[in-house]
Amino acid sequence: MGVSAKKYNQRVNQMKVLIIGGVAGGMSAATRLRRLDEDAEIVIFDKGPYVSFANCGLPYYVSGEISNREDLLVQTPEALYDRFRLDVRVHSKVESIQPEEKTIRVNGPEGRYEESYDKLILSMGAEAIVPPIKGFEEVDNVYTLRNIPDLDAIMEQLETKDPKKAVVVGGGFIGLEMVENLVHRGIEVTLVEMAPQILPPLDEEMARFVENELKENGVDVITGQSAVAFEDKGNKVILEDGRVLESGLTILSIGVKPASTIAKNAGVELGFRDGIKVDENYETSIKDIYAVGDAILVTHQITGEDALISLASPANRQGRQVADIISGLNRKNKGSIGTAIVRVFSLTAASTGLSERQARLAGLNFEVTHTSAKHHAGYFPGATMVELKLIFEPNTGEILGAQAVGENGIDKRIDVIATAIKGGLTVADLPELEFAYAPPFGSAKDPINMAGYQALNVMEGQSDTVQWHEVEDLMADGWKMLDVRATDEVKNNGGFKDSLIIPLNDLRDRLDEISPDEKYIVSCHSGQRSYIAERILKQHNYDVKNLDGAFHLYKMIKPEAIYHG
């Protein structure tokens, strides 16, 4: 049956644990359980040929950045038996669960059989979503990417057909990774995203930095469109507006759904989008059946609501914790906040917690700040910008989420804020964080410190901010734009139409040009000078607000509104 079937010595009264599915959650559970219980009988079933592989690394093999296919195979059944005495059964599809009898039915290389259990762990992961697209049945060059066999099929297409053009449908993390690696392979790529923006975990203005990076690297980005049909065996992709895209290779990266059918058929309670419901011990609605990984619903630690968070790090943690719980250790399923990161050519984009959009949908009271600062000391060679967005509750200072985009140091900033959220810190704690500082590594005031200062200014009434998406309505309501950049700066980079331009250093001497009867939105390039101008004007009793993110951000998201004259 498995690699250990003839070798494993049965012990009296030993616990028998079956695990359906390997990779992150299942294998973490199996190996941790063995470290805690040398006598347990542990059997892992996987319907595919590989029980432990680096699925997050799959896109990078496409370009050759990961050059050795074997590097993607983390463990083999033989190695897992030799080190952990695990009975790993590949090519073994679990067809059903019989909770009353505490058995499962398996279709494996030796035929169908039943296996009994004391404890059952479901780690079946998620499946790629494939929408009903006309002509899909006739295609021979359309793929999803979830496992090694998927990767092998894509590589065969690339190596035998040598396509010149490719289409990636779906602008999430995996979709963007595939775009980058196909471009590095020399293929002309079109990215199609049904939503109005790419990277849904990010808010629109932060995602725009990444979209521009894609375009600068030759990617044709189409948003607000979906693929509705395939023609010519997949060589033509038809969009809903009638456009026809030539494609020698199409990757569907629309998203994933919980692989929960077996659990549902067994009577396990499901919830939101058919995710498996589990309690604080990862136990399902049926006693002695546990579940971890992409198939389960987690509690979002910020909203307290059910969420599907398909990421490797939580799955690994959940696998270890369920093994602890089964072994009698006091562990609790605390939920997740959904921290994620992606590299897109020279840029990195990352997020943690809630986006502004999610906070609004959840009905939360929140404020937003944007910080633009260097990733290390500006006078030290190689300094690049960190664009950091912070979402927080303005009364308590609770950190609700953050997003960052830039060339360097993005992982560091988001990891710190994710840790702050998990640790219950507030925005008032961010200026107090002490970072290792020397010019090659950071700044004396890190972007995270600066974000904390900005948030405190908002909380304490030192600054009233306006977001980029509020400008148009405010100006229609009679607000005026005051630009405090240098005159040449405005001339060279563009500005706001009908704005009053008074450079910051001249502001105190030109207050008579500002009407006390008007209301002003103050802007500069990044927000630092406009904040100083806001403080000056407020202390002279002017009614002003500071444009958060300032001209730099507004131009990014609203280029059509920029005036050059």
Q: What is the mean pLDDT of residues 449-461?
A: 98
pLDDT surpassing 80 at residue 137: yes
pLDDT surpassing 70 at residue 505: yes
> What secondary structure does DSSP assign to 35-51, as a single string?
HH-TT-EEEEE-SSS-S
- CA 83, 319, 414, 169 torsion: positive or negative? positive
pLDDT at 52: 86
Work out the mean pLDDT of the chain and round it to a whole number: 95
Confidence of residue 469 (pLDDT cuts 50, 70, 90): very high
Torsion angles phi and psi, residue 315, rounded to 5: -65, -40
Sheet of 111-116, strand order: 93-98, 103-108, 111-116
What is d(CA 474, CA 523) in angstroms, rounded to the nearest whole number?
14
pLDDT at 7: 42
Cα angle 455, 459, 460; round to 5: 115
Q: Is 70 exposed, middle or buried (0-12, 13-18, 19+ CB in 10 A)?
A: exposed
pLDDT at 13: 65
SS3 at position 145:
coil
Rounding to the nearest 10 degrees, give the CA dihedral for residues 51, 55, 59, 63.
-50
Q: Which letter, b or e, does each residue of 271-295 get, where b requires 16 or more Cβ atoms within 10 Å of its Cβ? A: eeebbbbbeeebbbbbeebbbbbbb
Torsion angles phi and psi, residue 539, rounded to 5: -75, -10
Nearest of 268, 257, 265 to residue 291 by alpha carbon: 268
What is d(CA 403, CA 70) in angstroms, rounded to the nearest whole number?
34
What is d(CA 314, CA 292) in angstroms, rounded to the nearest whole number?
9
Nearest of 335, 265, 320 to residue 121 by alpha carbon: 320
Contacts of 157 (CB under 8 A, 6+ apart): 141, 143, 163, 248, 249
pLDDT at 5: 43
Q: What is the mean pLDDT of residues 390-406?
A: 98
The encoded tokens of residue 388 equal 């950091």
Nearest of 528, 172, 219 to residue 342 by alpha carbon: 172
Identify the H or E element spanning 483. Answer: strand 480-483
pLDDT by residue (tens digit) across 345-363? 999 999 999 999 999 999 9
Confidence of residue 554 (pLDDT cuts 50, 70, 90): very high
E strands within 346-410? Answer: 347-353, 367-374, 385-392, 399-406
pLDDT by residue (tens digit) across 54-72? 889 999 999 999 999 999 9
Confidence of residue 3 (pLDDT cuts 50, 70, 90): very low
Nearest of 479, 481, 540 to residue 510 by alpha carbon: 540
Catalytic residues: 56
What is d(CA 111, CA 105) in angstroms, rounded to the nearest whole number?
11
What is d(CA 435, CA 564) in angstroms, rounded to the nearest whole number?
41
pLDDT by residue (tens digit) across 209-253? 999 999 999 999 999 999 999 999 999 999 999 999 999 999 999
Sheet of 289-291, strand order: 87-89, 41-45, 16-20, 119-122, 289-291
pLDDT by residue (tens digit) across 286-313? 999 999 999 999 999 999 999 999 988 9
Q: What is the mean pLDDT of residues 97-104?
A: 98
pLDDT at 74: 86
pLDDT surpassing 70 at residue 10: no
Give pTM, 2 decimals. Answer: 0.93
Contacts of 390 (CB under 8 A, 6+ apart): 368, 369, 370, 371, 399, 401, 402, 417, 427, 451, 454, 455
pLDDT surpassing 90 at residue 394: yes
pLDDT surpassing 60 at residue 46: yes
The size of the chain, in residues, is 565
pLDDT surpassing 70 at residue 129: yes
